[in-house]
Every structure is written in C-alpha cells, then in structure tokens.
Structure 1
C-alpha cells in the first residue's frame, strides 16, 4: 500500500492532462457526495423500516414538539 507521499509523487509524475483528469474526477466525486449524505441516510432508514416491517402513525409523534418560547430568564 502506498503512503501519502508516494501517492503525491506518483501524481506529480503523471502527464499534465492525466493530472487534470484525475483532479476533475475527484472534484466531481466530492460534489456528488456533499448532498448525497442526507438522502442516502434517508433511503437507508426507509429500507430498514420496510424490511423490519415497522409500522408507525401520527400518535407515535404526538407531544414531541416543544411549544415553549425558549429558556426562561430570571432577572
């Protein structure tokens, strides 16, 4: 397995065109993963709910909201 410095040296030895392709590829991968984390997590959650046949309704979420105006301040 290559260490980080070996990888950097290997990239530096690539022709400029291949370096640009690699960096564009990595940029796209990073951009794709930014917004996907939430949606991937949601899809995973939904699959678990479906596979485990977990059923829930509005009553399960009743009284979860905090209706207070915030923390109380004693003056």
Structure 2
C-alpha cells in the first residue's frame, strides 16, 4: 500500500469535520512549500533578469483566501460603482 493509499484509507474512517481539518492541513503544507519555492526562485534570479511571478502570487493569494474562509458574493460588489453622471461642464 502506498503512502497516499494508506492516508486515504485512514482519512475515510474519520468523521467529516476531521477530514476537512486534515485537508486544510495538507493545503497549508502545500502553501508553505509553494511559498518557499517562490522565495528560493526569487533569490536565484540574477540582476537584470525579469520574471513574472504573477501566477504564483495569484495562486498564493487564492489559497490564503480559501484558508481564511473568506467568501465574496454579488452583494459585496453591489454599490461599488459611482452611478453619477459626472461633473458639470460649463462652456
């Protein structure tokens, strides 16, 4: 039995709440490893080299939002737009 098979077998025996806790722990470890990898890659870049870390940063942000339990709904964005016609122009 592989490590993954063994872990899944044991996890299936746990109640749902504990399964979710294990999953959050696994996501945390993955987040930490990704963060270390991003930091190491940043250190390895030489001066003058440019590298886009946007995707990794976005993934890190999404994982942080998910781990914090932050959720967005349409109500959060309902009144963000300024609906005024703008300033008055005097000619």
> TM bucket by the smaller chain?
0.3 to 0.5
Structure whose alpha-carbon radius of gyration is higher: 1
TM-score by structure 2 length?
Answer: 0.37
Normalising by structure 1, we get a TM-score of 0.43
Name the structure, 1 or 2, with higher relative contact order (CA <8 Å, separation 6+). Answer: 2
